[in-house]
């Protein structure tokens, strides 16, 4: 399967292990990544807060670049991009006159967006395009006994109608389903669908870190071994900021946070160092037996 | 007739006991509402069950509760759908709304939180000068725009699940900020700038929203409070250039410039620039406070010193910069509001 691949900014910035692990995992799932290396930031909801037409134009440009490739559809590994881009796409697809107006902005580059691009987070691709049975059949190292807390964050589950979440398409259950397909145990805790706090880290640091710290503490109380996130921004607040978050909530936390491709990669048999797990601030020692580089608690 | 199971969260302040759960069976058809189920429990089994309700038709906004963990109106939720959405596919769990103190059972103290916050935003029209001799003449679109926030029935569902308020109870919150937009966006109001300055000066004002979309999904009336909050920010920032206590506008400006310059976000610049630049006195304490985080990122190889200083730019960054210029130099901002214009119908034969 060939996809037009949008890695986002942070996966090539402060969470380079995300982009790296996706590149390692893709061939194991027969996904060919055509990287959109000319595309720019989705705006993360901030550019649209500044100027909606600008955000829509930047993303129309990205969509048009994706449509020029021979990828079956566009795939991202950042929920925030998913949410921000889907919001722009909703406006672009809803109104032909507006689409034409925005297309004029990108026309000097010889680009034009055609209504109806399919843009999916890796999580959705796993369930909808690869399929859980196929994924299960490719597992080389089942994550037996590993207790994983899903952390969806916001942009990939809300608003539910814009993201086309329904009983027939339960995208708000996909992390649960993937964790189980990889042989691990899903841990239910209060923070599963809550906000990591990242969007207000520069505006209200205390509240932001309290959000992150509370979810990490709830997952600790539910005896999760680690969390898994489909969004690098959630990773920044939950992992990079964890030492500060634990001060705000007043308790010791040592909760490893894995990017989705890392969790998948572990189960597909990749080595933790290939997945660059040493780059995490909170060392994933509960997930990995570093001496043997196999998944903790799983039979050898 | 069908049989449904309701699991209600009970609490009686006078008992001195902690809240507890109680299950009841109700005998109603699936298209009847959860509220009717609760009222049947009250009529037939336990007259002490506390629920606030009035119109039973999703107009009065009295019966806001959490059903299966999600906020909504009890009268606007069918029993069969609620049962299907239940965790075990059967037991409909009903609890009082969150972020507000519980008075009894399913009744929360709306005065203490919700109404207080509504009062906070001066929820009435403040026109400038003398009223016109006849009616106010305003553009149709401007009024359609504010009718979205006028559709609010003050049920508190958005307040219940606001994730900012959960950690920062002083946040003005989604319902009140949507109400604020109802007047900021009203062409008859004469205090637009003053209202926005007031919201910007409050550190728990419009920039305290964490952008989680919970209020959009919670609202039974399609008010989309978060969208109204983003409109407040857009008007305050782009039209009035108002700087706020939370540094929200500066952060936004720094973010936009960052992308215009690099195409991809250069995180190492964003933090200092959000506080006015590396040399700005405001940035210094923030940078010092972030030093341990930066040190950890360097130690773990998340970022290298070279990468922090020299950011990778897009191969044709010039094209992105030109696109910025093209859009930003337009005399008027163009904002497509789907609430006003709706969605095109596909012409026959068109593929989605």
User: B238–A244: do the CB atoms touch at under 8 Å?
Assistant: no
Nearest to B174 by CA among B94, B237, B231: B231
Q: Which residues of B touch A91 (CB under 8 A)?
A: 336, 338
Cα–Cα–Cα angle for B146, B152, B156, nearest 5°? 140
Among partner residues A91, A116, A197, which is closest to B338 by beta-carbon distance?
A: A91
| A·B CB contacts under 8 A | 209
- Write down the mean pLDDT value for chain B: 92
Does B154 touch chain A if contact means CB atoms closer than 8 Å?
no
Nearest to A43 by CA among B173, B149, B327, B196: B327
Q: Which residues of A touch B341 (CB under 8 A)?
A: 94-95
Does B150 touch chain A if contact means CB atoms closer than 8 Å?
no
Among partner residues A41, A53, A206, which is closest to B334 by beta-carbon distance?
A: A53
Residue B1: the pLDDT is: 67
Which pLDDT band holds residue B338 (cuts at 50, 70, 90)?
very high
Which pLDDT band holds residue A300 (cuts at 50, 70, 90)?
very low
* Contact in structure between B94 and B66 (CB atoms under 8 Å): yes
Distance from CA of B138 to the nearest CA of A (A): 24
* Contact in structure between A280 and A256 (CB atoms under 8 Å): yes
Q: Which residues of A touch B204 (CB under 8 A)?
A: 204
Residue B273: the pLDDT is: 82
Comparison of pLDDT for B228 and B307, the residue scoring more: B228
pLDDT of B352 over the 50 cut: no
Q: Which residues of B touch A155 (CB under 8 A)?
A: 213
Q: Which residues of B touch A90 (CB under 8 A)?
A: 338
Does B351 touch chain A if contact means CB atoms closer than 8 Å?
yes
Q: Which residues of B touch A109 (CB under 8 A)?
A: 319, 323
Give me the sign of the Cα torsion angle A262, A268, A271, A274. negative
Residue A297: the pLDDT is: 43
What is the helix, strand, coil percentage profile of chain A, to 5? 50, 10, 40
Residue B347: the pLDDT is: 56
Q: Which pairing describes strands A147-150 and A226-229: parallel, antiparallel, or unpaired?
A: parallel
Residue B169: the pLDDT is: 97
Tokens of A200: 């207000």
Percent of chain A's residues with pLDDT above 70:
96
* Contact in structure between B333 and A45 (CB atoms under 8 Å): no
In the numeric block, the tokens 């520069």 are attached to A202
Tokens of B243: 């700087």
Cα–Cα–Cα angle for B219, B225, B229, nearest 5°? 170
Tokens of A99: 């689409």
- Find the helix or strand (DSSP H, E) in which B177 lies: helix B174-184
Residues with Cβ within 8 Å of B201's Cβ and at least 6 positions away in sequence, in order, are B244, B245
Does B288 touch chain A if contact means CB atoms closer than 8 Å?
no
User: A38–B334: do the CB atoms touch at under 8 Å?
Assistant: no
User: B327–A105: do the CB atoms touch at under 8 Å?
Assistant: yes
Half-sphere exposure of A55 (CA within 13 A, CB side): 27
Using CB atoms and an 8 Å cut-off, which of residues 90-129 of chain B contact chain A?
A: none
Residue B129: the pLDDT is: 87
User: B210–A208: do the CB atoms touch at under 8 Å?
Assistant: yes
Which pLDDT band holds residue A247 (cuts at 50, 70, 90)?
very high
Residue A286: the pLDDT is: 75
Does B345 touch chain A if contact means CB atoms closer than 8 Å?
no
Distance from CA of A116 to the nearest CA of B (A): 5
Does A197 touch chain B if contact means CB atoms closer than 8 Å?
yes
* Contact in structure between A195 and A171 (CB atoms under 8 Å): no
* Cα(A102)–Cα(A53) distance, integer angstroms: 7
Angle between helices B248-262 and B225-234 (to 10 degrees): 80
Residue A299: the pLDDT is: 40
Does B295 touch chain A if contact means CB atoms closer than 8 Å?
no
pLDDT of A298 over the 60 cut: no
pLDDT of B286 over the 90 cut: no
CA A172 to chain centre: 13
The CA-based diameter of chain A, rounded to the nearest angstrom, is 61
Nearest to B7 by CA among B30, B33, B41: B41
Residue B345: the pLDDT is: 72
Q: Which residues of A touch B286 (CB under 8 A)?
A: 202
Tokens of B141: 């679109």
Does B248 touch chain A if contact means CB atoms closer than 8 Å?
yes
Comparison of pLDDT for B261 and B288, the residue scoring more: B261
What would the DSSP string read from start to end of B80-112? Answer: HHHHHHSTTSSEEEEE--SSS-EEETTEE-TII
Helices and strands per DSSP (H, E), number in chain B:
16, 7
pLDDT of B310 over the 70 cut: no
Using CB atoms and an 8 Å cut-off, which of residues 206-225 of chain B contact chain A?
A: 207-214, 216-217, 224
User: B335–A45: do the CB atoms touch at under 8 Å?
Assistant: no
Does B243 touch chain A if contact means CB atoms closer than 8 Å?
no
Comparison of pLDDT for B281 and A134, the residue scoring more: A134
Distance from CA of B186 to the nearest CA of A (A): 20
pLDDT of B303 over the 80 cut: no
Distance from CA of A21 to the nearest CA of B (A): 13
pLDDT of A293 over the 50 cut: no
pLDDT of B260 over the 80 cut: yes
Chain B residue whose CA is closest to A201 = B210
């Amino acid at each position: 399967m060939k996809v037009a691949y949008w890695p986002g900014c942070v996966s090539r910035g402060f969470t380079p292990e995300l982009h790296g692990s996706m590149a390692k995992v893709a061939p194991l799932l027969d996904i060919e990544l055509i990287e959109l290396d000319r595309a720019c930031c989705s705006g993360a909801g901030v550019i649209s807060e500044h100027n909606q037409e600008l955000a829509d134009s930047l993303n129309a440009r990205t969509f048009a670049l994706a449509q020029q490739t021979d990828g079956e559809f566009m795939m991202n590994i950042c929920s925030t991009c998913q949410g921000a881009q889907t919001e722009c796409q909703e406006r672009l697809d809803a109104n032909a006159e507006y689409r034409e107006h925005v297309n004029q902005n990108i026309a000097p580059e010889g680009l034009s967006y055609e209504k109806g691009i399919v843009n999916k987070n890796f999580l959705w691709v796993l369930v909808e395009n690869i399929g859980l049975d196929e994924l299960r059949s490719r597992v080389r190292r089942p994550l037996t006994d590993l207790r994983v807390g899903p952390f969806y964050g916001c942009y990939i589950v809300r608003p539910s109608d814009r993201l086309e979440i329904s009983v027939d398409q339960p995208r708000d259950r996909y992390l649960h389903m993937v964790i189980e397909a990889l042989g691990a145990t899903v841990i239910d805790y209060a923070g599963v669908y809550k906000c990591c706090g990242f969007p207000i880290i520069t505006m209200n640091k205390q509240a932001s870190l309290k959000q992150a710290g509370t979810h990490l503490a709830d997952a600790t109380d539910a005896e999760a071994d680690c969390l898994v996130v489909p969004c690098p921004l959630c990773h920044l607040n939950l992992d990079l900021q964890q030492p500060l978050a634990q001060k705000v909530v007043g308790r010791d936390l040592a909760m490893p946070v894995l990017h989705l491709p890392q969790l998948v990669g572990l189960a597909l048999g990749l080595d933790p160092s290939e997945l660059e797990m040493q780059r995490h601030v909170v060392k994933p020692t509960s997930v990995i037996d570093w001496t043997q580089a196999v998944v903790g608690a799983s039979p050898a | 007739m069908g049989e449904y199971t309701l699991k209600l969260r009970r609490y009686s302040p006078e008992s001195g006991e902690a809240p507890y759960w109680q299950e009841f069976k109700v005998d109603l058809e699936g298209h009847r509402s959860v509220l009717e189920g609760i009222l049947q429990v009250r009529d037939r089994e336990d007259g002490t069950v506390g629920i606030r309700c009035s119109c039973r038709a999703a107009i009065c906004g009295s019966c806001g509760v959490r059903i299966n963990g999600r906020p909504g109106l009890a009268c606007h939720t069918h029993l069969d759908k609620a049962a299907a959405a239940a965790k075990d596919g059967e037991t409909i769990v009903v609890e009082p709304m969150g972020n507000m103190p519980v008075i009894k059972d399913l009744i929360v103290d709306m005065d203490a939180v919700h109404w207080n916050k509504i009062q906070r935003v001066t929820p009435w029209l403040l026109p400038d000068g003398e009223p016109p001799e006849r009616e106010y003449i305003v553009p149709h679109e401007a009024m359609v725009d504010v009718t979205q926030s006028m559709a609010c029935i003050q049920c508190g569902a958005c307040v219940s699940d606001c994730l900012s308020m959960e950690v920062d109870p002083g946040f003005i919150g989604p319902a009140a900020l949507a109400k604020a937009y109802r007047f900021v966006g009203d062409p008859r109001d004469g205090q637009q700038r003053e209202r926005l300055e007031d919201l910007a000066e409050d550190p728990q004002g419009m920039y305290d929203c964490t952008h989680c979309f919970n209020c959009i999904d919670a609202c039974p009336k399609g008010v989309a409070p978060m969208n109204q909050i983003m409109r407040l920010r857009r008007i305050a920032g782009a039209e009035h250039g108002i700087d706020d206590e939370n540094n929200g506008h500066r952060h936004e400006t720094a973010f936009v410039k960052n992308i215009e310059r690099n195409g991809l976000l250069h995180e190492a610049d964003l933090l200092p620039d959000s506080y006015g630049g590396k040399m700005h006195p405001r940035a210094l304490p923030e940078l010092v406070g972030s030093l341990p985080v930066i040190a950890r990122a360097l130690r773990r190889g998340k970022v290298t010193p070279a990468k922090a200083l020299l950011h990778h730019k897009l191969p044709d960054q010039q094209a992105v910069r030109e696109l910025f210029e093209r859009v930003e130099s337009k005399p008027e901002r163009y904002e497509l509001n789907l609430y006003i214009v709706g969605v095109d119908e596909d012409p026959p034969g068109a593929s989605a």
